[in-house]
Chain A
Amino acid sequence: MNPILAAFELVANWQVFLTLVSAALFGLLVGAVPGLTATMATALLVPLTFFMDPIPAVGAMVTCAAMAIFAGDIPSALLRMPGTPASAAYTDEAYAMTRKGQAETVLGACVLFSAIGGLFGTAVLIFAAPALAEIALKFSSPEYFWMALLGLTCAAFIGASSPLKGAVSLLIGLFVATIGLNNPAGVPRFTFGSTEMLSGIDFIPAMIGLFAVSEVFRTIAAGAPPWDSVQSQVGNIFRNWGGMVVTYWRQQVRGNVLGTLIGILPGAGADVAAYVSYAVSRKLSRTPEKFGTGHLEGIVESTSANNSSLSSAWVPALVFGIPGDTITAIVIGVLYVKGLNPGPTLFLFNPQTIYAVFIMFIIANLLMVPLGWMAIKLAKRLLQAPRAVLMPIILAFCIVGAFASNNTAYGIIVMLVFGVLGFFMEENDIPIAPCILGIVIGPILERNFVTTMIKTDGSIIAFFDRPIAAALGIFLILLWILLLAGAWRRRAAT
């Protein structure tokens, strides 16, 4: 049967649709609550996906993440608190517009351009991924080694406020990845005689700990103060849609393209895309003086960028198995559990699954308009949910989720340790995202390094011996030189 028809058949049933809508509502709720990120929404969803079929499981994560990234804009505009880090770049701007009484304009723009951005990223995913998979079929261990190294470089150094602390976070992740028996030599490392640690650190409880439990600790430490109440009224968000598309098409396209590119880059995600786009928009604007006073231009560009990067981050994840951002890092774990091992062969042997994922991306971004409208209407009520009630319940949910990943108390111990670690890292301004990517990419890096060395009897030349590997290697070395030069110039400037 035609794989595209097969894909429609996989998606078109009420069970998948119900899952998508529930995941969307969950994503909207988590995204709209300041402090709870899109990554956390995805991590909390993982224990539930264990019990789903592969297609609804992946669909749930796609929808949940897309909604959460959009919903982050709601408290940005209404409370001046970014719901997710991806909205932080334009929070002040959005709030300034609300204060000028234009809440419906800014929120309408966020819904519209988030959905369009998501669809643009999806289009790129649909066309670029299979083409890249063709190339990836020619990849062997040296190429994967370079790709993994590229992912690590981007994770630690792109968009990090302090490259040193980014590197520390990355090293923590890489170290965690070495624990256990699962290495090319088959030697138990850093297990200290524990049988449970032989199988390594379970990724899901670690994620839940780093992203959710650490946030619970932080909120409880602050005594869970209530948010300011939402004062402004939100009118008809659909009013200016036609005009906005005409006025801001340039910004929209630029945001989409830039966001998509940053998303495809392994390791850099939606928050980096939003920051870069906002900066670019200001630089290229005809009226840069209006930025910061409640001007829509930069918001359009960066809200287009963060949602498009979310979709395109799946390109490296599906094609190479190397995550494009923290959310796809989690997704890769779920894909393995579901027997859909990411990599070019997925496109060969399971094309209907890939197409089904594409279809769900489109559905998710279309669902964003009605559900987003609903969320904005309910925002006032939603932001009254007391954090004092929410946080302990989230903790209980985390405990059960960590337990469910293996049905042992070991998962909860891992969750707690990583919760404390995440809390400590945030306290010291060490970013968490590089750590996650280190945990996922570390084993890929090591396996491909050792495999290459065994193949070539320990000759380093092997990494430059094949044309694609050589190109990737030279590209990466140039990138390093650029990064070093940039750091040098910044130091000289201060």
Chain B
Amino acid sequence: MRFSDTMLGVLLLVFGLAVGFYAQTFPAIPGQKFGAAVFPTTIAVGFALCGLVMLIRGLRSAGAPLIMRTEWTRKPGAMIAVLITILCVVAYILLSRPVGFIPVTTLILIVLFRLLRLPWWQTILYAVAAALIIDFVFRSILLVPLPLGIMPRLPW
């Protein structure tokens, strides 16, 4: 997904203004000229300037569509594939605590392998193996408290 210079310029300009105005609400350090607001304000000015330059550049070479699909995302299903991947991570964030690391990870891997058209037997094999190995390495060796959820604790 590629934004045209105009679009990107407007986006940066608006973001810069928002950051700049919000930064003015930060309290000053008593008795000091420079406090918490200085740095964010400078960054905001930078954003706004970059946005402005891009906007001018975009308006001069008018004609480009505001949002364009880059070559690889133009393939049918490409953006949907990215969306599904993002949703998989969201699903992990929401479900890992109640359901547990191994089931959720296995499930996510199955979805992604199938999305990439791996044959079913490979999908199941790799998904289960990867989930178990990662669980073993991180929980058992490195002692990361991966959420157990409904899974019983494995014997190792």
Contact = CB atoms under 8 A, between A and B. Distances in A.
A184 B39 CA distance: 11
Given A175-B19, A189-B36, A407 B26 contact: no
Residue among B108, B112, B134 with the most chain A CB within 10 A? Answer: B112
Contact of A396 (B109, B118, B142): B109
Contacts, number: 167
A482 to B, nearest CB: 20
A213 B134 CA distance: 17
Interface residues of A, number: 61
Contacts of B96: 409
B1 A424 contact: yes
Interface of A: 47-48, 50-51, 164, 167-168, 171, 174-175, 178, 183-187, 189-190, 213, 216-218, 220-224, 386-389, 391-393, 395-397, 399-400, 403-404, 407, 409, 412-413, 415-416, 419-420, 423-424, 427-428, 442, 445-446, 449-450, 453-454, 458
A171 B43 contact: yes
Given A178-B39, A446-B39, A458-B34, A389 B126 contact: yes
B34 to A, nearest CB: 5
Given A404-B144, A423-B82, 4 more contacts: A397-B134, A400-B144, A442-B39, A449-B34
Residue among A183, A184, A392 with the most chain B CB within 10 A? Answer: A392
B79 to A, nearest CB: 7
Contacts of B50: 164, 167-168, 171
Nearest to B54: A164
Given A220-B82, A223-B81, A171 B34 contact: no
B126 A412 contact: no
Nearest to A167: B50
B85 A187 contact: no
Closest 4 CB pairs of A and B: A392-B112, A185-B36, A388-B116, A458-B33
A377 B26 CA distance: 60
B19 to A, nearest CB: 7
A168 B12 contact: yes
Contacts of B12: 168
Nearest to B113: A392
Contacts of A458: 32-34
Nearest to B111: A392
Nearest to A453: B34
B32 A399 contact: no
A217 B29 contact: no
B134 to A, nearest CB: 6
B32 A412 contact: no
Interface in B7-39: 8, 12, 19, 22-23, 26-29, 32-36, 38-39
Interface of B: 1-3, 8, 12, 19, 22-23, 26-29, 32-36, 38-40, 43, 46-47, 50, 53-54, 70, 72-73, 75, 77-79, 81-82, 85-86, 88-90, 92-93, 96-97, 105, 108-109, 112-113, 115-118, 122, 126, 130-131, 134, 138, 141-146
Contacts of B88: 395
Tell me the interface secondary structure of chain B in the complex.
Answer: helix
Nearest to A213: B89
9 contacts: A51-B143, A218-B72, A220-B81, A221-B72, A388-B118, A392-B116, A395-B89, A407-B145, A458-B34
Contacts of B43: 171, 174-175, 178
Contact of A221 (B33, B35, B82, B105): B82
Nearest to B94: A409
Contacts of B22: 190
Contacts of B27: 185, 187
Contacts of B90: 416
A159 B38 CA distance: 29
A396 B46 contact: no
A404 B105 CA distance: 15
Contacts of A222: 72, 75, 78
Contact of A407 (B33, B53, B117, B144): B144
Nearest to B84: A220
Contact of A393 (B39, B46, B109): B109
Given A223-B78, A389-B126, A404-B144, A167 B112 contact: no
A319 B18 CA distance: 37
Contacts of A454: 29, 32
B120 to A, nearest CB: 13
A427 to B, nearest CB: 5
Contact of B2 (A428, A445, A446): A428
A171 B48 CA distance: 11
Given A185-B29, A187-B26, A409-B96, A220 B115 contact: yes
Residue among A221, A224, A388, A427 with the most chain B CB within 10 A? Answer: A221
Contacts of A446: 39
Contacts of B109: 392-393, 396
A48 B75 CA distance: 37
A469 B54 CA distance: 34
B35 A48 contact: no
A324 to B, nearest CB: 23
B134 A391 contact: no
B93 to A, nearest CB: 5
Contacts of A424: 1
